[in-house]
Amino acid sequence: MKYAFCNEMFGDEPFEKVWAEACKLGYTGIEIAPFTLLPVSESVDVREVSTARRTEVKQQAADAGLEVIGLHWILAKTSGFYLTSPEKAVQQETAEYLKALAQLCADLGGKVMVLGSPQQRNLLPGVGYDEAESYAAEVLRTAMPTCEGLGVTIALEPLGPAEGDFMLTAETAIDLAKLVDSPSCKLHLDVKAMSTEPNSPDVVIRESNDWLVHFHANDPNLLGPGMGKVEYGPIFEALKDVDYTGWVSVEVFNYEPSPQEIAKQSIDYMQKVWAACF
């Protein structure tokens, strides 16, 4: 199993310092939130990330012994972009931004972009679900040739009802991916989000395995795997049984007692559970 972590959990600590510490714990991958690459701002645009900065971050990861696996929170802290907007101009701008994100991802050495960002996809007033799905499909289809050319996959992330009202289950994410109809549009699963589905996470994994390309490990309590009530034995057994070969990336939303301690407890727990699968 390949373990990664999402970099925003370490806040504004120097990349080269905390990334090297994470590597010593056993992580081999880093997943980057684009807004961490630019100065703190209410709104960011990754097209402002210079070539030099892209090269620097890629090298910092390599020097720390990590592989940049991709991006997540890709529309977070942006303005003017919306996946399910009925406005043609917004659809086009969003598609163009997804292309720019794919280029950033490739420049950093990454291959996957997790499309969660609920605040940029929830249903707008007067827009029904089917309409929103068709708008999202059109936006994604427009970005697909660029993604395919760069070898970057957009991984659609179902999120629970606490986050929003669009794409709440793996089934609806797969429905959208089918509409997009591209090898560069697949499924991402997140344990916290899966915990709100009718079926248990292990069942969701087995039923979705043909589409699954990326995976986030966490707990509904917003901490890391093994730090809450979710038992990972059935989850890792399911990943093993479906021959999942992607990354398991730790994404948390509560950073106490400390990012370092969360990172350590998470990987220690996952390694123990994974070993028990054999």
CB atoms within 10 A of CB 278: 5
Give pLDDT, residue 84: 98
State pLDDT tens for residues 15-32. 999 999 999 999 999 999
Assess whether pLDDT exceeds 90 at residue 41.
Answer: no
Domain that holds residue 229: 2-275
Could you tell me what percent of the chain has a pLDDT over 70? 100
Between CA 149 and CA 105 the distance in angstroms is: 12
Please spell the DSSP secondary structure of 144-159, one letter per residue.
HHHHHHHT-EEEE---
For residue 57 the two structure tokens come to 């971050």
Compute the 3-state secondary structure of the chain and give helix, strand, coil in percent, each to the nearest 5: 45, 15, 40
Report which of 91, 199, 71 is spatially closest to residue 136, judged by C-alpha positions: 91
Assess whether pLDDT exceeds 90 at residue 42.
Answer: no
Between CA 46 and CA 92 the distance in angstroms is: 17
Q: Under a CB-based contact definition with an 8 Å cutoff, are residues 216 and 250 in contact?
A: yes
Q: Diameter of the chain by CA atoms? A: 52
**Element (DSSP H or E) covering residue 216:** strand 212-217
Give pLDDT, residue 110: 98
Q: Give the CATH number for residue 77.
A: 3.20.20.150
Give pLDDT, residue 114: 98
Number of residues written out for the chain: 278
Report which of 2, 18, 25 is spatially closest to residue 61, judged by C-alpha positions: 18
Q: Under a CB-based contact definition with an 8 Å cutoff, are residues 219 and 193 in contact?
A: no
Between CA 114 and CA 233 the distance in angstroms is: 24
State pLDDT tens for residues 241-277. 999 999 999 999 999 999 999 999 999 999 999 999 9
Q: What number is the average pLDDT over the span 227-247? A: 98
Write the single-letter amino acid at 15: F
- Residue ranges in 151-232 assigned as alpha helix (H): 170-180, 191-194, 201-208
Global pTM value = 0.97
Residue 82: left (phi > 0), alpha (psi -120 to 50), or beta?
A: beta
State pLDDT tens for residues 54-72. 999 999 999 999 999 999 9
**Element (DSSP H or E) covering residue 186:** strand 185-190
For residue 38 the two structure tokens come to 């630019």
Q: What number is the average pLDDT over the span 140-164? A: 97
Assess whether pLDDT exceeds 90 at residue 93.
Answer: yes
SS3 of 252, please? coil
Please state, rounded to an integer, the average pLDDT across all residues of the chain.
Answer: 97
Q: To 5 degrees, how large is the angle CA 108–CA 153–CA 85? A: 105
Number of domains in the chain: 1
